[in-house]
Amino acid sequence: MNAKQNNANLGMEKKLAALQRRLERERQARKQAESILEEKALELYRTNEELRHLNENLERQVQARSKALMDSELRYKRIIESMELGLMEVDNDGIIIRAYDWFCDMTGYTSEELVGQKANEVFIAEDQLSTIQFQDENRKRGQAGVYELQIKKKDGTPIWVLISGAPLYDADNNIIGSVGVHYDITAQKNLQNELIKARQIAEQAQQAEKQFLANMSHEIRTPLNAVIGMTHLLFDTKLSPKQKEFLSILKSSADLLKGLINDILDFSKIESGQMEVAPREFDLIGLLKSLEKTFQLKVEKKAVEVETQIDPRIQNMFVGDDLMLNQILFNLVGNAIKFTNDGSVGVRVKVLKEENDDRLLQFEVFDTGIGIPAEKLKVIFEDFKQVSKEIKLKYGGTGLGLAITRRLIEMQGGTIWVESEINQGTTFSFTIPYKDAGRAAIIKNDKLPDQLTFSPKACKVLVAEDNMMNRKYIGTLLKKWEIKPEMAHDGQEAIELAKKQPFDIIFMDIQMPEVDGYEATIAIRNTQNINQNTPIIALTASALTREKDKAFSLGMNDFLPKPFAPIELLRCLNTHLSQNNEKETNCTETQQNNMEEVFTFNPKLDIDYLNDCYEGDLEYASDMFNIFLDFTLPEIEELEKTIATKDHDSIRKAAHKMKPAFAMVGLTHITDNMANIEQMAKESADISSIEHIFKETKKELNIFVPILQHELEKMKRFIEN
């Protein structure tokens, strides 16, 4: 029993010991787990602290950034408002979503009144809708733009604003509307309108000044023409020495008055911008030789030699304004002769620079005259300035000659300077750039014409002139050359005489009562009559270039300005009547039987171009006219369709292709129109400008097509005969 009991106790002790060991192990494990948990808790705590610090930092950064954004927005808002710029935002439907203070002040609305309203309905007048709609479409495509627009304020007052518009984007870069920055330019617009009105008034005043200039030119030159003309006629009569002396004084005074008027009128044309450079091909050598011969006549009574020195490299024709060059040299050489009593006066010209076909020429006009004081060299080119009162009293003049000369040179891209010594002489030097025409100058006989180069009794002349003294002058000159003229006292009488009998040349005064020279020319040129193609020479005392242009555009063939010397009338007769003696003209039947019949084109066409182009080959010319009428005219309709497509490149190609055809039938001015269309298309100019030129061209063609058809039939008949 005791043994069993002991064994049982021993077993229990063993179990208890095992249990204790197990408990110890569990305690150790729990302790280890607690230690791990404690470490994890500490790590988690630290992580939470770090997250808390991060959150605090992020919150501070967000707050700072938000404040910065608010400050930035406020700053830019203040800047824009200080610049008086009004901001407004709209959505894609044009609904106002925000209106800033300055915009509200500008328009008279409050922000609450505007938000939710459609901007176009609130501000835009109906005639401005197309502009804003175009800009809205650009915003939807992401395009910004700046434009002017008239809007209406709350009280209905219209104001002009300059708008800079740009698209608005959301966070995903989608366009959600647009923002407009508005600047009130009403004051500037009003000023601009006032300036436009002022400019119109100034232009009207300038036009009145030009008209006054033209009228005064005519009123002064008309009697002056008679005075100078009569002195020429009186010199041909038997005069006593005293009468010759008086007549010489009269002629000198008249010539001086003519020079004064010419200087003042030239100066006025330059001041008004009416005088323009008109480059064309010219013979420089011939011009200088003619000038030399002219001035040799003027120095016959002085011990002065006139000479010309030309650079041997100058052999070709040049392209430039020869009329301006002639006037420049005439002024400078005329001055040189005026201030030189003995010695020499001359012109030197040399090539300073050559590059491709560009030539820079230097001209020198020298003399051995009285010279110019050194202190006066800087002022002689100024307006109305002369060397001294003594010089003015002794030699006369307006003080405009050198000022005009300087301006004419500068207009052509040149410069002028002067060197002089008292009692030793003066040299005026100037440069002008020209183009080398690439072909040799034709050597001409430079003898001044002093007699008729045609048979005077074989031709008839009509003179239309309302001034009795001018009729007497020109009539006496013509009778002196054995030409008996018919006289018309006004334009209407000239028209009636032109219907009744053939004339070989018509001298037509422009300004006449009732029917003037322009109207008479139009009537003669545009009605069926025996003088429809007779050369008509404009007689006018007007100095305005537009008078010449108008005369030529209406069908006149030449221009003879009053007052004119007998030699100028003689040259005009030789030029036109000598030509007519080689053509089918209105000369007498005897003369027509003795000359070869030559075809003449309609004077409304570019006769010079046609003659140069075909050189009398009428079969070739008729073929070209026929081709133009059959093939080129239909292309006009194609060009109109091409212009409607607004494809600049296609328009350019079409105009380029058609351009030469018009010149081939004498419509060189329409060739110029085509060249303008081609250039504008090349520069992608506004289509409306191209359309305008094209419409004008079509109008011109409507006028000229019947003329071309008539010319073609006339050529065919001529060839058959």
Q: Is the domain of 312 the same as that of 436? A: yes
- What global pTM score does this model have? 0.39
Q: How far is residue 184's CA from residue 160's CA, in Å, rounded to a whole number?
A: 6
| pLDDT at residue 78 tops 70 | no
| pLDDT level of residue 19 (50, 70, 90 thresholds) | confident
- Omega into 561 within 30° of 0, i.e. cis? no
- 168: β partners: 177
Question: What tokens appear for 649 in the block?
Answer: 């490149």
Q: What is the pLDDT of residue 676?
A: 87
Question: What tokens appear for 1 in the block?
Answer: 């029993």
Q: How far is residue 413's CA from residue 690's CA, in Å, rounded to a whole number?
A: 31
| pLDDT at residue 321 tops 80 | yes
- Specify the pairing of strand 486-488 against strand 461-464: parallel
Sheet holding 486-488, edge to edge: 486-488, 461-464, 505-509, 536-540, 558-561
- 398, 263 in Cβ contact below 8 A? yes
Is residue 318 domain-resident? Answer: yes
| pLDDT at residue 404 tops 90 | no
Q: Is the domain of 421 the same as that of 494? A: no
| pLDDT at residue 102 tops 70 | yes
Q: Is the domain of 369 the same as that of 298? A: yes
Q: How many CB atoms lie within 10 A of CB 287?
A: 18
Q: What average pLDDT does range 679-695 have in this prediction?
A: 87
Is residue 711 domain-resident? Answer: yes
Residue type, 449: P
Q: Per-residue pLDDT tens for 477-491?
A: 788 788 888 999 888
Count up the domains in the chain and report the number: 5
Q: What is Dmax (Cα atoms) for the chain?
A: 202
Q: Per-residue pLDDT tens for 333-391?
A: 888 888 888 888 989 999 999 888 899 999 999 999 888 887 777 767 765 445 444 54
Q: Is the domain of 313 the same as that of 433? A: yes
Q: Is the domain of 420 the same as that of 561? A: no
Is residue 653 domain-resident? Answer: yes
Provide the domain limits for residue 70.
1-78
Q: What is the pLDDT of residue 496?
A: 86
CATH of the domain at 674: 1.20.120
Is residue 406 domain-resident? Answer: yes
Is residue 215 domain-resident? Answer: no
Q: Is the domain of 574 the same as that of 626? A: no
CATH of the domain at 304: 3.30.565.10
Comparison of pLDDT for 68 and 492, the residue scoring more: 492
Q: Is the domain of 291 the same as that of 388? A: yes
- Specify the pairing of strand 342-355 against strand 303-310: parallel
- 148, 131 in Cβ contact below 8 A? no
Q: What is the pLDDT of residue 69?
A: 62
Three-state secondary structure string covering 428-461: EEEEEEEEEEEEECCCCCCCCCCCCCCCHHHCCE
Q: What is the pLDDT of residue 518?
A: 85
Q: How far is residue 280's CA from residue 435's CA, in Å, rounded to a whole number?
A: 10
Which residue, 447, 443, 449, 479, is CA-closest to 461?
479
Sign of torsion over alpha carbons 559, 563, 567, 573 = positive
Question: What tokens appear for 8 in the block?
Answer: 């049982």
Comparison of pLDDT for 33 and 194, the residue scoring more: 194
- 106, 182 in Cβ contact below 8 A? yes
Q: Is the domain of 167 the same as that of 66? A: no
Q: Is the domain of 66 the same as that of 93? A: no
| pLDDT at residue 583 tops 60 | no
Domain boundary among 168, 184, 200: 184
Q: How far is residue 380's CA from residue 386's CA, in Å, rounded to a whole number?
A: 6
Is residue 295 domain-resident? Answer: yes
Rounded to the nearest 10°, the torsion over CA 66, 69, 72, 75 is -60
Question: What tokens appear for 85 in the block?
Answer: 């710029």
- 182, 132 in Cβ contact below 8 A? no
What is the secondary structure of 195-247 as a DSSP string? HHHHHHHHHHHHHHHHHHHHHHHHHHHHHHHHHHHHHHHHHTS---HHHHHHH
Q: How far is residue 326's CA from residue 320's CA, in Å, rounded to a whole number?
A: 11
Q: Is the domain of 544 the same as that of 468? A: yes
Domain boundary among 568, 594, 620: 594
Comparison of pLDDT for 395 and 327, the residue scoring more: 327
Domain boundary among 49, 78, 107: 78
| pLDDT level of residue 273 (50, 70, 90 thresholds) | low
Question: What tokens appear for 84 in the block?
Answer: 């008086």
Q: Is the domain of 132 the same as that of 46? A: no
Radius of gyration of the chain (CA): 46
Q: What average pLDDT does range 510-526 have in this prediction?
A: 81
Q: How many CB atoms lie within 10 A of CB 227?
A: 17
Q: Is the domain of 617 the same as that of 540? A: no
Is residue 358 domain-resident? Answer: yes
DSSP 3-state percent helix, strand, coil across the chain (nearest 5): 55, 20, 25
What are the distances in angstroms from CA 23 to CA 17, 19, 30, 36? 10, 6, 10, 19
CATH of the domain at 125: 3.30.450.20
Sign of torsion over alpha carbons 594, 596, 602, 607 = negative
Q: What average pLDDT does range 563-569 have in this prediction?
A: 73
Question: What tokens appear for 362 in the block?
Answer: 């230097």
Is residue 423 domain-resident? Answer: yes
| pLDDT level of residue 430 (50, 70, 90 thresholds) | very high
